[in-house]
């Protein structure tokens, strides 16, 4: 099976600014191995929402989350009124999974991603890279809106 992917990169942090929305009921929690068990209930809720809304049964679970964190991945949770409605996984400067549930309002997804990008940049990463499927027009529009640049289009054999 061949899948087409579009690779994106963000490098222009000189003019970077998080959009201004009413974020009084939003917060971002950074989950790393050392604080994983402090966030375990919220991680489980985010896993359940992801697996349900993506329609993939048990695509990932707490064991996989712990394994990722053991491999120095970082998980960010988007909390709305202290309840998780999204997550983003990073490995250094590579964003490899982003999800915000249907409970969000306009602007919250962008605000969340920009918050995590800012933290990655503050952690020393000057570039953020990701890929998305060619057919996923909604995601491709989203990354372009956030001023990510297309750096490559490629086929991956699965």
CATH number at residue 90: 3.40.630.30
Report the 10 Å Cβ neighbour count for 120: 23
Average pLDDT value for residue range 64-81: 96
How many domains, the chain? 1
Query: What percent of the chain stands above pLDDT 90?
Result: 77
Residue positions counted in the chain = 158
Tens of pLDDT along 104-115? 888 999 999 999
Task: Give the CA angle between residues 153, 15, 77 to the nearest 5°.
Answer: 70
Which domain does 53 fall in, by range?
Answer: 2-157
pTM of the model: 0.91
Nearest residue to 79 via CA among 24, 120, 121, 128: 24
Helix axes 137-145, 108-122, angle to 10 degrees: 60
pLDDT at 144 over 50: yes
pLDDT at 69 over 50: yes
């Amino acid at each position: 099976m061949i899948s087409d992917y579009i690779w994106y990169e963000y490098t222009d942090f000189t003019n970077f600014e998080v959009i201004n929305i009413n974020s009084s009921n939003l917060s971002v929690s950074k989950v790393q191995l050392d604080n994983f068990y402090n966030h375990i209930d919220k991680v489980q809720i985010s896993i359940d929402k992801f697996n349900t809304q993506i329609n993939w049964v048990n695509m990932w679970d707490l064991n996989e989350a712990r394994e990722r964190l053991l491999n120095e991945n970082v998980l960010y949770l988007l909390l709305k009124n202290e309840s998780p409605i999204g997550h983003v996984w990073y490995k250094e400067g590579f964003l490899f999974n982003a999800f915000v549930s249907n409970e969000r309002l306009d602007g919250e997804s962008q605000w969340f991603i920009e918050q995590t990008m800012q933290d990655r940049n503050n952690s020393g990463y000057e570039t953020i890279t990701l890929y998305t499927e060619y057919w996923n027009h909604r995601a491709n529009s989203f990354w372009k809106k956030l001023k990510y640049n297309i750096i490559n289009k490629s086929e991956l054999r699965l």
